[in-house]
Amino acid sequence: MKTILVAGGAGYIGSHMVAELHDKGYDVVVADNLCTGHRGAVTHGTLCVGDVRDGEFLDRVFTEHKIDGVINFAAFSLVGESCTDPLKYYGNNVAGAVSMLGAMRRHGVDKIVFSSTAATYGEPEKQPIDELDRTCPTNPYGETKLAIEKMLHWCDAAYGIKFAALRYFNAAGANNAAGIGEDHSPESHLIPIVLQVALGKREHIGIFGDDYPTRDGTCIRDYVDVRDLASAHLLALEFLDREKTSGVFNLGSGNGFSVREIIEAARKVTGHPIPAKVAPRRAGDPSTLIASNRRAVEILGWKPRHSGLDDIIGSAWNWHQSHPDGYAE
Ligand code: NAD
Ligand code: UDP
């Protein structure tokens, strides 16, 4: 496999994928409309600016480049916004995936790695969560990702397009050697917000609820390094190529940390006090999400190498210090 089309490759996780593919000797073509991505995040390959919902745009990309496989990151991913504007999420996420699969069919490309999410599980029945556990999303964002997973299943059955649906838990960290990191606007994720407080760009971090049934009352999440996510996608592509079968895989470190534990770890890594205030719960937050990553480890041969909490916060902190205004575009 030589040339990989990375849809959404100008975004946070996609840009780390592009760097990983380049490092491993692949040619990369990025398709991105830059709605939340950054031109400056695309460090290698060819950037084609356009919308994946536009079939003619995709036809040009697939005609101009001989694409061997697709990795699709292109989506909207703000849980709260998906609750107030679900059609925006179905319209981009589901329609974008329909359009991409149609283009793959037209151009004879039969392998896709898809960005799914722990939000497909909703409120889990047990911890750690494995891939056979009930999927019952509590918000439209998770519903769109689950709908796409089901569509991928039927497209495999009908057209033989093999897929790996990767359910990420909480992506964090940065690739400082490549000069890329997390720059969402607005930023909603815990670790970058905590580091913005350390940088003096925010006065305090609001803790969304301290009355959850957890060890300190704050929500527990599984934070996984963005470079480890990228390496898993490459293994998933190789798996599709080798095994010619589809699969669903959790991508998490297997460890859970509470909001208070993240703030405390960030205080140690940064040496800043990071004031925190308890705020109301955020709608739709499950109390605990921890991945079982056994399938990815055993079947894909994945080894998360950078997902220790201090490593994740340390690499994110380096990025925030060197890029206090993100990509400043
Ligand atoms: P991001 O917003 O940084 O990246 C998404 C990229 O897709 C952006 O570059 C954006 O411009 C592009 N895009 C969106 N719609 C498009 C369209 N119609 N046509 C072309 N390009 C389009 O998001 P991210 O944090 O890097 O997340 C990447 C993927 O991973 C998303 O699908 C998201 O749902 C999923 N995910 C992220 C996390 C996380 O913790 N960040 C967790 C689970 C799943
Ligand atoms: N969180 C918080 N304050 C913030 C942002 C997030 O307390 O300013 C909490 C949030 O409620 C969740 C955890 O931190 O329990 C991780 O949130 P994030 O948005 O990073 O990821 P999510 O788990 O929602 O995908």
Q: Is 16 in the same domain as 76?
A: yes
Rg for the chain (alpha carbons), in Å? 19
Pairwise CA distance, residues 133 & 131, whole Å = 6
Ligand 2 atom nearest to CA at 219: 15
Taking the CA of 74 as reference, the closest ligand is 1
Whether 314 shows a pLDDT value over 80: the answer reads yes
pLDDT over 90 percentage in the chain: 96
Residue 315 covered by a domain: yes
Residues with Cβ within 8 Å of 292's Cβ and at least 6 positions away in sequence, in order, are 128, 129, 130, 131, 250, 252, 254
Q: Is 33 in the same domain as 150?
A: yes
The single-letter DSSP state of residue 287 is: S
Beta bridge partners, 208, equal 279
Tens-place pLDDT, residues 149-165: 999 999 999 999 999 99
Residue closest by Cα to atom 44 of ligand 1 = 117
Q: How confident is the model at residue 12 (pLDDT cuts 50, 70, 90)?
A: very high
The mean pLDDT of 182-188, rounded to a whole number, is 94
Note down the domain range covering 13: 3-172+223-251
Write down the pLDDT at residue 284: 80
Residue 127 CB burial class (10 angstroms; 0-12, 13-18, ≥19):
middle
Q: Is 91 in the same domain as 123?
A: yes
Tens-place pLDDT, residues 60-96: 999 999 999 999 999 999 998 999 999 999 999 999 9
Residue closest by Cα to atom 41 of ligand 1 = 171
3-state secondary structure of 116: strand
Averaged pLDDT score across all residues of the chain: 97
Token pair listed for 127: 């911890």
Residues with Cβ within 8 Å of 223's Cβ and at least 6 positions away in sequence, in order, are 169, 170, 172, 191, 253, 255, 257, 262, 307, 309, 312
The CATH number assigned to the domain holding 267 equals 3.90.25.10
The full DSSP string for 34-68 is -SS--GGG--SSEEEES-TT-HHHHHHHHHHS---
Token pair listed for 37: 């991505």
Ligand 2 atom nearest to CA at 79: 24
Please give the distance, rounded to the nearest whole angstrom, from the Cα atom of residue 243 to the centre of ligand 1: 27
Token pair listed for 243: 């095994």
The amino acid at residue 52 is V
Tell me if 75 sits within 8 A of 149, measured CB to CB.
no
Whether 13 shows a pLDDT value over 80: the answer reads yes
Tell me if 165 sits within 8 A of 149, measured CB to CB.
yes
Residue 184 covered by a domain: no
Tens-place pLDDT, residues 227-242: 999 999 999 999 999 9
Residue 279 covered by a domain: yes
For the chain, the domain total comes to 2
The mean pLDDT of 278-289, rounded to a whole number, is 92
Pairwise CA distance, residues 89 & 78, whole Å = 9
Write down the pLDDT at residue 327: 96
Please give the distance, rounded to the nearest whole angstrom, from the Cα atom of residue 279 to the centre of ligand 2: 12
Tens-place pLDDT, residues 248-261: 999 999 999 999 99
Whether 47 shows a pLDDT value over 80: the answer reads yes
Residue 314 covered by a domain: yes
Please give the distance, rounded to the nearest whole angstrom, from the Cα atom of residue 213 to the centre of ligand 1: 31
Q: Is 148 in the same domain as 165?
A: yes
Give yes or no for residue 137 CB within 6 A of ligand 1: no
Tens-place pLDDT, residues 15-24: 999 999 999 9
Q: How confident is the model at residue 1 (pLDDT cuts 50, 70, 90)?
A: low
The CATH number assigned to the domain holding 39 equals 3.40.50.720
Q: Is 148 in the same domain as 240?
A: yes
The amino acid at residue 128 is P
Whether 206 shows a pLDDT value over 90: the answer reads yes
What ipTM does the predicted assembly reach?
Answer: 0.98
Give the residue carrying structure tokens 């998906």.
82
Please give the distance, rounded to the nearest whole angstrom, from the Cα atom of residue 294 to the centre of ligand 1: 25
Tens-place pLDDT, residues 104-144: 999 999 999 999 999 999 999 999 999 999 999 999 999 99
Q: What is the distance of C-alpha 188 from the center of its chain?
A: 14
Pairwise CA distance, residues 312 & 78, whole Å = 22
Give Cα separations from 224 to 39, 305, 309 (angstroms): 25, 10, 9
The full DSSP string for 184-215 is -SS---HHHHHHHHHTTSSS-EEEE-S-SSSS
Lining ligand 2 with CB less than 6 A are: 79, 170, 188-190, 193, 205-208, 219, 221, 259, 282, 285
Residue 327 covered by a domain: no
Beta bridge partners, 48, equal 31
Q: Is 104 in the same domain as 43?
A: yes
Residue where a domain terminates, one of 232, 251, 270: 251
Give the residue carrying structure tokens 């998490």.
252
Q: Is 261 in the same domain as 150?
A: no
Pairwise CA distance, residues 43 & 14, whole Å = 11
Q: Is 209 in the same domain as 312?
A: yes
Ligand 2 atom nearest to CA at 188: 19
Tell me if 68 sits within 8 A of 38, measured CB to CB.
no
Scored b (16 or more CB within 10 A) or e, 290-324 reads bbbbebbeeebebebebbebebbbbbbbbbbeebe
Question: Hey, which of 189, 281, 309 would you mutate to test ligand 2's pocket, going by the most ligand atoms within 8 Å of its Cβ?
Answer: 189
The mean pLDDT of 262-280, rounded to a whole number, is 98
Residue 136 covered by a domain: yes
Q: Is 130 in the same domain as 278?
A: no
Give yes or no for residue 13 CB within 6 A of ligand 1: yes
The mean pLDDT of 38-59, rounded to a whole number, is 98
Q: Is 148 in the same domain as 9?
A: yes
Residue 301 covered by a domain: yes
Residue 241 covered by a domain: yes
Please give the distance, rounded to the nearest whole angstrom, from the Cα atom of residue 216 to the centre of ligand 1: 31
Ligand 1 atom nearest to CA at 171: 40
User: CB 192: neighbour CB atoms within 10 A?
Assistant: 20
Q: Is 89 in the same domain as 217?
A: no
Which pairing describes strands 205-208 and 3-7: parallel, antiparallel, or unpaired? unpaired
Tell me if 265 sits within 8 A of 315, measured CB to CB.
no
Write down the pLDDT at residue 133: 98
Q: Is 91 in the same domain as 197?
A: no
